[in-house]
Amino acid sequence: MTPVELSRTVLCAVRCAVDEGELSVRVPERAVVTVPGPGGCGDYATNIALQLARPAGQSPLRVAEILAPRLVAAAGVADVVVTGPGFLNISLSPAASPTATLVAEIRALGSGYGHGDALAGQVVALRVPYDVRAEVVADAVVRIVATQGGRGEVGHGEPVSLRPVPAPEDPAPLGPDAAQWALLHPAAHDRPRITADHLVQRESNPLFRVRYAHARTRAVGRGAGRLGFGAEPGDVPAAPGASGALVTALADYPRILTAAATHRAPDRLARHLVTVADAALPFLPTVLPRGDEKPSVAHRARLALAEATGTVLAGGLSLLGIDAPDHL
């Protein structure tokens, strides 16, 4: 349920109270719905009771008490708590959110998320030249093809079916993970860069961003454990570090994985992992409560989304033959 949809739900509750004679007011055109402030709880809060108190001739607290049961009865609302002089704090039902469905699917499938049967029963014969990059790409293609029900077989000879542009020099000095990334991240027709840039721990290095985002998902999980709350799929309200781009990237992962398998293109997977990481990094600082804030339904939902992100990043890196450390 989006804030706009929740605003309509609040107005519907007001309209019901008016129709049933419990409130004598003009139904406003809009209801402001925001993230709960200090002392608040739940996913969203609204000051509609304070707004209507004077025209209704009742206290804000009484107006809130009239509206609360009607909001609880609305589809997608799990709980309503009245705080302060009459703020309505609303917790959404996990089932109300497509994000919850996506996160629950990733949690259920784990590293199998995105696997399908697009190549079921097919044998993909890969004939490669005697070249380190061709060998690395072929190995990754075999793993990716397997996620779609196919079986890859690598051999040498003619005709060559997989011939990526060779590396200009031996990538081994970069170490196993950086070497894999250096050879797999560029498209097959692009010449890979074998430089120490793949080893630096800063934002300019895509591999670092992907592995750092994964490590951060594990860090927020450890932090939540210390605070005594766990993950629960649910709606993730829009906020600074908005989750929309992240949810879109996670939802697109199965399509990317299928395309990488059918086109024998592990670079598509590598670049999508960068997309997921770049969407995750602004979001992850919003997962844990701040200051005196108490863990809420929203925090549990954000944690579930963070954990799902870590699952996708780790699974994708594994298919590329790259380690996903929990600490970085």
- pLDDT in the model for residue 104: 86
What pLDDT score does 95 carry? 61
* pTM strictly above 0.85: no
CA dist 249 and 308 (Å) reads: 12
Q: Mean pLDDT throughout 119-128? A: 95
- Mean pLDDT, range 281-299, rounded to an integer: 91
Mean pLDDT of 257-285: 97
188: pLDDT strictly greater than 80: yes
Residue 93 pLDDT > 50:
yes
| Predicted pLDDT at 44 | 87
Segment 255-281 mean pLDDT: 97
pLDDT at 240: 47
102 vs 311, which has greater pLDDT? Answer: 311
268 pLDDT tier (thresholds 50, 70, 90): very high
Q: Decide if pLDDT at 190 tops 90.
A: yes
Question: Where residue 97 falls among pLDDT bands split at 50, 70, 90?
Answer: low
Mean pLDDT within 149-159? 93
So what's the pLDDT on residue 5? 77
Q: What is the pLDDT at residue 237?
A: 65
Q: Per-residue confidence at 40, pLDDT binned at 50, 70, 90?
A: confident
User: How does pLDDT run across 62-71, given as a tens digit for each residue?
Assistant: 999 999 999 9
**133 has pLDDT over 60:** yes
Quick one: average pLDDT of 11-28?
A: 91
State the average pLDDT over residues 225-229. 96
* For residues 105-117, average pLDDT: 91
Share the mean pLDDT of the chain.
Answer: 92
What is the pLDDT, as a whole number, of residue 2?
A: 67
